Every structure is written in structure tokens, then in C-alpha cells.
């Protein structure tokens, strides 16, 4: 199934670390066994349809730089023919890379219709195309989602819009996208709060808007159960951009939101590296917290530029950082329905079809190196050993009694006096642990 877009490039193969072939994997070997599992089954890579095939290369100062056969020419209207050409190129790339999954928004894959019904039937039409291509290539859907932020109707938010008609339109859109995700056997459904936030409190009622968001999510969860969609519903936290203040700020905020609406056992999080940084955290902080709270789901593996403070969605290339991220993923027991989605785009000067392949190859190789380093740290108990020691005191009978609620504050206080407890500080050994990590990366 060649779209012709990638020319006569052969499927990308693993050639080992010494290979100088830019179109080969040097670390990602899908079948290599890591901690008892194929690397492909650990990482569960997905390509993001929007960045690779829909985004034209614009920035705030200039428009399209990419020329793709499936883009409408200036003055031309985007048609279903364009959408199908795009799908051909997309599935050709998935097959060349051997990425097992992809992810998409409704707006990435079909041109907007003039009515809701027309947009919906176009989505069905492209779902037919996807279904056939998925069958042919074996590529699966990691998650589907709705674009509730690009069209001007959503400029003041979707579920959190002051206009109930926009809430309704967003609800209809999400219903449609869940239907299509279910039909394509998607393993998750993502809700990223595109413009669910605000620019100024002068025109915003926070209590009301977050209440609307809670109602919306409750309806989505009810619907999922009603139709028997088995995938996981995921919220993707982000602190800002496009709105100045996004409601789903970070993992902790999302957890509080889920608790408020009694949804903490229904919804998990899709954590994006770049969003974690925007929130003033590290990626591993967000991963560890989500795991600790029981809401870890999936990851978007794309980094930001540390200087600019924008969501620059660059392909990942910092192996030591990724090792710490996959350490948290493995520590949490690995992905269940989740995976590693490259929510990443090329830089706008990277015009060539090959650039798309090379970007993904590099990202996948870095993830593979990070995963392997993380797995070795886990197997050697390099960090978990010292961690266990650090908390060993809590194994004592008295400490356990405190934790299980069998001691009052007075009883604890009394024991401190009776046993003359004077705590002796111990080294946190941070540099020692950092040196250990650096032995693995
Ligand atoms: C934007 C988000 C978006 C989601 C999907 O910053 O990362 O791409 O992943 O809507
Ligand atoms: Ni993002
Ligand atoms: Ni994302």
C-alpha cells in the first residue's frame, strides 16, 4: 500500500547501535525481551496524526511551510479526497516505522462539514477507510479524541462555555468521537481540556465553569458504560496554553477534580512531558504522583524547549530524562491500556518526507534506551533498595499502629516522652543516588 509520498524507502529495521544508517533503529528492537516482555509491548508507540499529517508548519509569525499532496491548494476547499490521500500517507508511515498504534482528533482526519451532521458523516466515512487500513496493516488505535478548541465556536471553551449550546455541541461531538473510537477498537479515549480555562476572571465564573466540566465528564463516563466501551477515559492535564489558565492544571489538580465529582475510579490521566514542565514539575513527578494516586494511564512523549515556555511539542531526545520517566512507568507496573504517544511535530524547516521518519526513529530509539536503562535499575533494585531502607523504620510495630489509626496524638506524644525519643537525622544521599542513576544512563 504505497502512497508514493515516502518514495521507495523500505520498512525501518533494527540494525544495532553501530549502524550509521539514518533510516534504521539502533536501540529499538521491537522483539527484544526486556523484563520478560517484548520492547514493543512495553513502549506501545503511537504516532499523532495531527502533528505529522495535518499541521502545515505555521508559527505565530508565518504560515504553511510544508507542502503535502493531501493539503488543499490556496483557494481550494479541503475535500474528502484530500482526507483519503492523507490517510494513505499516514498508514504508509505507520507501516514503514512499525509503530503499532496511532491517535487522532476528528478534525485531523476529515474536513469540517457545513453542519454537525455532515461533519459526523464524514467522520464515519473516514472511519471506513481507517478500518480497512487497520485490518490490512495491523496498526491499532491507542486513543481517539475530539478537537474542541480549533473552531471559533469553541473560543470560550467547550464544556465550560458560558453558552449551553456550545456545551451541547461539544457533548454531541464527544459522543460521536467515542462511537468512532469504540468502532475502531480504540484502547483509550482522551479528553484534553483544549480551551477549558479562562483568560480573565472579569468575565469568568470559575465555580460554575468547573461544575459544567464535572457534569460533562460524568455524562461521558455514563455513556461509556451504557455503550460498553471498554477503553480507558483519560484526562490530559496542562496548566496553560491556549488559555492563560487551564482548569486541568496538573495531575494533582485533576485528581482533586475527579474526587469532587466522584470519578477517581473511572478516569485516569494521559501525562505529557511538556505539560509537566509547563506546570513547573518534572515529568517523573507527574508520573509518580499519578501512580501513587491510582490514576496513571498513558503518556505523551514530547518535550518543550526549556527556554521558551511554550508547548513546542518537540520529539524527545534526552535519554537520561526518559530513563527516569520510564523508571516511573515500570515502577507503576507498566502500561495497561496506555502507551507512548509522540504528540510531537517537526520543526517547520524540516520539509522532507524523510524528516518525518527520522524524527520518529530518533524518538523511538531514545525511548528504547530510556526503557532499557530503567529496566536495569529496576532489576538491580538500584533505587528501590535504598528507598526501602530509607523507610524501613515504618515497619516497626509502633509505626504500623500509627499508620493504621490505632494511636491518638496524645498516645504518640506520651511515648515520645516515655521513651525519650530524640530523632537522629540521616543523610538523604542524593548525590550518591544521582551517581547511581548516571551509571545506568
Ligand atoms: C495539546 C495537547 C493535545 C492533546 C490531544 O497541548 O497535547 O495535542 O494531546 O488533544
Ligand atoms: Ni501538548
Ligand atoms: Ni498531548
Predicted pLDDT at 309: 84
Residues 341-359 have a mean pLDDT of 98
Indicate the domain borders of the chain.
Answer: 13-379, 396-440
- CA dist 382 and 385 (Å) reads 6
Candidates 154, 170, 193, 236: which one to mutate for ligand 1, based on the most atoms within 8 Å of Cβ? 236
Partners of residue 48 on adjacent β-strands = 103
Q: Is the model's pLDDT at 1 over the cut of 60? A: no
Using a 6 Å CB cutoff, which residues line ligand 1?
A: 105, 145, 190, 192, 236, 238, 272, 300, 311, 343
Which residue of the set 105, 275, 281, 331 is catalytic? 105
Query: What percentage of the chain carries pLDDT values higher than 70?
Result: 100
Which residue of the set 29, 108, 250, 313 is catalytic? 108
Q: Is the model's pLDDT at 377 over the cut of 90? A: yes
Q: Annotated catalytic, 305?
A: no
Provide the CATH topology of domain 13-379. Answer: TIM Barrel (3.20.20)
Q: What is the pLDDT of residues 51-79, one digit of tens each?
A: 999 999 999 999 999 999 999 999 999 99
Q: What is the pLDDT of residues 81-132, one digit of tens each?
A: 999 999 999 999 999 999 999 999 999 999 999 999 999 999 999 999 999 9
Residues 134-154 have a mean pLDDT of 98
Calculate how far, in angstroms, residue 99's C-alpha sits from the geometric centre of ligand 2. Answer: 20
- CA dist 132 and 136 (Å) reads 6
Q: Annotated catalytic, 300?
A: no
Residue of the CA atom closest to atom 3 of ligand 1: 192
Predicted pLDDT at 219: 99
Residue of the CA atom closest to atom 4 of ligand 1: 192
Candidates 194, 243, 249, 344: which one to mutate for ligand 1, based on the most atoms within 8 Å of Cβ? 194
- CA dist 242 and 261 (Å) reads 25
Judged by DSSP in three states, 232 sits in strand
State the closest ligand 1 atom to the C-alpha of 149, by its place in the atom list counted from 1. Answer: 10
Partners of residue 303 on adjacent β-strands = 314
From first CA to last CA, the distance across the chain in angstroms is: 39
Q: Is the model's pLDDT at 296 over the cut of 80? A: yes
Partners of residue 191 on adjacent β-strands = 235
- CA dist 101 and 140 (Å) reads 5
Concatenating the DSSP letter of every residue in 330-394 gives: HHTT--SS--EEE-----TT--SHHHHHHHHHHHHHHHHHHHHHHHHHHHTTTTHHHHHHHTGGG
Query: What percentage of the chain carries pLDDT values higher than 90?
Result: 98
Calculate how far, in angstroms, residue 168's C-alpha sits from the geometric centre of ligand 1. Answer: 22
| Cβ(270)–Cβ(338) below 8 Å | yes
| pLDDT interval class at 160 (50, 70, 90) | very high
Amino acid at each position: 500500500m504505497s502512497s508514493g509520498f515516502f518514495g521507495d524507502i523500505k520498512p525501518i529495521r533494527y540494525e544495532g547501535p553501530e549502524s550509521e544508517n539514518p533510516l534504521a533503529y539502533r536501540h529499538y528492537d521491537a522483539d527484544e525481551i526486556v523484563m520478560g516482555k517484548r520492547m514493543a509491548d512495553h513502549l506501545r508507540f503511537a504516532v499523532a496524526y495531527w502533528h505529522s499529517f495535518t499541521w502545515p508548519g505555521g508559527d505565530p509569525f508565518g504560515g504553511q511551510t510544508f507542502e503535502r499532496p493531501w493539503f488543499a491548494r490556496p483557494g481550494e476547499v479541503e475535500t474528502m479526497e484530500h482526507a483519503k490521500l492523507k490517510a494513505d500517507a499516514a498508514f504508509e508511515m505507520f507501516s514503514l516505522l512499525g509503530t503499532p498504534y496511532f491517535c487522532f482528533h476528528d478534525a485531523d482526519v476529515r474536513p469540517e462539514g457545513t453542519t454537525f451532521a455532515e461533519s459526523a458523516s464524514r467522520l464515519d466515512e473516514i472511519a471506513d477507510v481507517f478500518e480497512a487500513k487497520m485490518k490490512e496493516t495491523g496498526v491499532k488505535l491507542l486513543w481517539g479524541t475530539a478537537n474542541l478548541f480549533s473552531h471559533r465556536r469553541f473560543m470560550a471553551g467547550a464544556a465550560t462555555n458560558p453558552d449551553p449550546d456550545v456545551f451541547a455541541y461539544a457533548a454531541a461531538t464527544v459522543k460521536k468521537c467515542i462511537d468512532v473510537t469504540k468502532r475502531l477498537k480504540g484502547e483509550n479515549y482522551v479528553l484534553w481540556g483544549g480551551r477549558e480555562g479562562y483568560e480573565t476572571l472579569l468575565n469568568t465564573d470559575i465555580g460554575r465553569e468547573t461544575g459544567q466540566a464535572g457534569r460533562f465528564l460524568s455524562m461521558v463516563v455514563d455513556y461509556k458504560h451504557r455503550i460498553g466501551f471498554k477503553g480507558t477515559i483519560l484526562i490530559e492535564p496542562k496548566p496553560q496554553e491556549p488559555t492563560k489558565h487551564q482548569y486541568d492544571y496538573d495531575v494533582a489538580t485533576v485528581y482533586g477534580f475527579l474526587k469532587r465529582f466522584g470519578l477517581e475510579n473511572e478516569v485516569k490521566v494521559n501525562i505529557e512531558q511538556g505539560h509537566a514542565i509547563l506546570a513547573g514539575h518534572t515529568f517523573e513527578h507527574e508520573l509518580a504522583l499519578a501512580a501513587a494516586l491510582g490514576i496513571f494511564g498513558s503518556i505523551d512523549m514530547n518535550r518543550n524547549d526549556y527556554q521558551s515556555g511554550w508547548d513546542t511539542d518537540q520529539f524527545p531526545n534526552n535519554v537520561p530524562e526518559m530513563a527516569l520517566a520510564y523508571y516511573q512507568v515500570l515502577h507503576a507496573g507498566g502500561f495497561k491500556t496506555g502507551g507512548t504517544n509522540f504528540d510531537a511535530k517537526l520543526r517547520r524547516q524540516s520539509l522532507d518526507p524523510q524528516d518525518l521518519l527520522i524524527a520518529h526513529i530518533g524518538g523511538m530509539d531514545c525511548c528504547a534506551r530510556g526503557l532499557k536503562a530503567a529496566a536495569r535499575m529496576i532489576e538491580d533494585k538500584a533505587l528501590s533498595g535504598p528507598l526501602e531502607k530509607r523507610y524501613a523504620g515504618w515497619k516497626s510495630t509502633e509505626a504500623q499502629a500509627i499508620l493504621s489509626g490505632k494511636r491518638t496524638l496524645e498516645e504518640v506524644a506520651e511515648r515520645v516522652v516515655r521513651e525519650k525519643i530524640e530523632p537522629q537525622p540521616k543523610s538523604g544521599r542524593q548525590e550518591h543516588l544521582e551517581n547511581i542513576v548516571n551509571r545506568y544512563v
